[in-house]
């Protein structure tokens, strides 16, 4: 006869930080927007009357800048987990500066497109390039604002191993923007 009584402990409900949940909803909506635009790009390209042109070389440099910026952001995250606040400050500052450099590179790419007679208005192929890069740039600008908010929080000692939510969200969003850019750049290289 078994005399052991088995008592089930109540299961803990699955919970997500509300701000993280909101951020994931936002990221999902951004993915849907870019998926619809790239789908429209493919459909419109198949209709013909499509101007074929070379993408500006500065976009290769911008892509490298975005990758390095993402590395800096991950360094900031890992440093925060170890309470190395000085490294967090340096890494977020580096990611921010590289984010601004990326946006400057995008403006230079637009100038190169204009010099190549590829304009926002005109052939749809050029319009799509401006739309995709510009929309990504707007989201990246928002990411830079987020980086600056986290940097200020770091200087106020509000970012550390016991308070990681803000830097976790910022890191996730920044990596998302980097991945999104690489997707867009490869897409534009393959579907010219």
The string of pLDDT tens digits covering residues 19-47 is 999 999 999 999 999 999 999 999 999 99
Residue 49: C-alpha distances to residues 17, 30, 112, 122, 181 (Å): 49, 29, 22, 11, 26
For the chain, the structural domain boundaries read 52-190
52-190: CATH topology = 1.20.120
Q: For the whole model, what pTM was predicted?
A: 0.90
DSSP 12: P
Please write the tens of the pLDDT for every residue from 47-71: 988 989 999 999 999 999 999 999 9
């Amino acid at each position: 006869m078994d005399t052991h009584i088995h008592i089930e402990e109540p299961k803990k409900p699955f919970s997500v930080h509300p701000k993280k949940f909101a951020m994931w909803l936002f990221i999902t909506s951004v993915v849907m927007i870019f998926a619809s635009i790239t789908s429209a790009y493919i459909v419109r390209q198949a209709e013909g009357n499509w101007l074929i042109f070379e993408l500006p070389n500065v976009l290769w440099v911008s892509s490298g800048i975005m990758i390095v910026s993402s590395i800096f952001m991950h360094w900031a995250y890992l440093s925060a987990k170890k309470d190395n606040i000085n490294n967090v400050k340096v890494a977020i500052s580096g990611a921010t500066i590289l984010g601004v450099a990326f946006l400057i590179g995008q403006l230079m790419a637009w100038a190169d497109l204009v010099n190549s007679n590829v304009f926002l208005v005109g052939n749809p192929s050029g319009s799509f390039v401006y739309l995709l890069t510009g929309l990504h740039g707007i989201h990246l600008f928002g990411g830079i604002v987020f980086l600056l908010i986290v940097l200020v929080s770091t200087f106020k000692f509000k970012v550390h191993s016991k308070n990681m939510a803000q830097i976790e969200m910022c890191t996730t969003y920044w990596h998302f923007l980097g991945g999104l850019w690489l997707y867009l750049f490869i897409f534009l290289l393959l579907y010219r």
